[in-house]
Amino acid sequence: MPTADGRAGYNIECGGSAYTWAKCYKAAAKVCPAGFDVIDRDSSSTPTNFGPLVERNLIVACKRA
């Protein structure tokens, strides 16, 4: 998705109670090898009988090479 300033932007979904934000940042580094700026990040946790259901979303804009 294009960002407001015309750069390539990506919404990265990286939920899971066994993971951390590091998984999101690693995925962002893969899609933006020249680096990225974080536009937004959001997380939520919903309790269940089997443990928390964790959702994470990271929106990044790739830096221009």
Q: Is the pLDDT score of 65 beyond 80? A: no
What's the CA gap between 53 and 43, in Å, rounded? 11
Alpha-helical regions (H) of 1-65 = 21-31
Q: What is the pLDDT of residues 7-51, one digit of tens each?
A: 889 999 998 888 889 999 999 999 999 999 999 999 999 998 888
Report pLDDT for 16: 87
The DSSP letter of residue 64 is P
Report pLDDT for 27: 95
Domain spans in the chain, listed from the N-terminal domain onward: 9-62
Report pLDDT for 26: 95
Q: What are phi and psi of 44, to 5 degrees?
A: -145, 155
Report pLDDT for 1: 81
